[in-house]
Amino acid sequence: MTADRLTILHVYPRQMGVSGDRGNVVALVRRAEAADIATEVVEYAPGDALPTAADVVVVGNGPLSAMRSLGADVARIGAPLRDFAASGVPVVAVGGGFDLATNEVVPTEGSPVAGFGVFDARAVRGAERRVNYFVLDTRYPLLSGASKRLAGFEDHATRIELAAGVEPFADVVSGGGNQAGSAVEGAVAGASFGTHTQGPILPLNPQLTDGVLSAATTRLGREYVADPERTATIDRYAREARATIDRYVDKAFKRIA
């Protein structure tokens, strides 16, 4: 954070940004502005010089072909991203970005794709494809009194195998989740989380955006205080969207063969 400006690093926005993932970045920016915190968004493309400092990192969704196209760049920036996460910088990895942030992605054909290793897990393709509304109770730390109930959408055919001791991002209320033997979703590592929840997840769940911003600012010795008056409109949009998911969650597709 330089000159009271929160730096949001958006990794691979072109390759890993196929599901409205810029919405997650916008949610962080708008929510921070409502708390009188200025932001700067830095977009990282393959081959660029990775910034030496960041306050939040976002990696969005993308297909296996995009991950393969990134080649050795993933290995080149993996260690700095792990260092960010280890120092308490929230890394928000969604969809294919979550897969890429594990140790490796194991496809149904061809060689595994090495990941960033932010989460001690692996993403194994070829599981039952889950396409449905998603309702979760998150384990990610939120502001005091905030609801842990999250809503979104999942569309993936991946089994996430967490290493021993890795905390899931959430318990599944409705949906597929990690599909690895228990009803859990995603992973948490410190202030970072990975999930297949799309929507995008942060605009749909403002309390989670607040949790990420609180983690980022606390690390810098600054308090994050959400302003309900200045976020009233976007909070209402989010409530209405989640209410629609709640209304139709049992009518959505549950699986595709």
Is the model's pLDDT at 257 over the cut of 90?
no
Sheet hosting strand 56-59, strand order edge to edge = 38-44, 5-11, 56-59, 91-94, 192-195, 187-189
> What's the confidence (pLDDT) of residue 4?
78
Among 24, 151, 148, 41, which Cα is nearest to 98's?
A: 24
Residues 189 and 16: beta-carbon distance below 8 Å = no
CA–CA distances in Å: residue 133 to residues 63, 152, 171, 176, 197? 20, 6, 15, 10, 9
H helical segments located in the chain: 22-34, 64-69, 73-86, 96-100, 201-204, 206-219, 232-248
- For residue 141, pLDDT over 90 is answered with yes
Taking the alpha carbons at both ends of the chain, their separation in whole angstroms is 47
The rounded distance, in Å, linking the Cα atoms of 210 and 203 is 11
Residue 252 has pLDDT above 80, yes or no: no
pTM of the complete model beyond 0.85: yes
Mean pLDDT of the region 32-38: 96
Q: Is the pLDDT of residue 249 over 90?
A: no
pLDDT in tens, 146-177: 999 999 999 999 999 999 999 999 999 999 99
**DSSP per-residue codes, 121-140:** EEEEEEEEEEEEEEEEEE-S
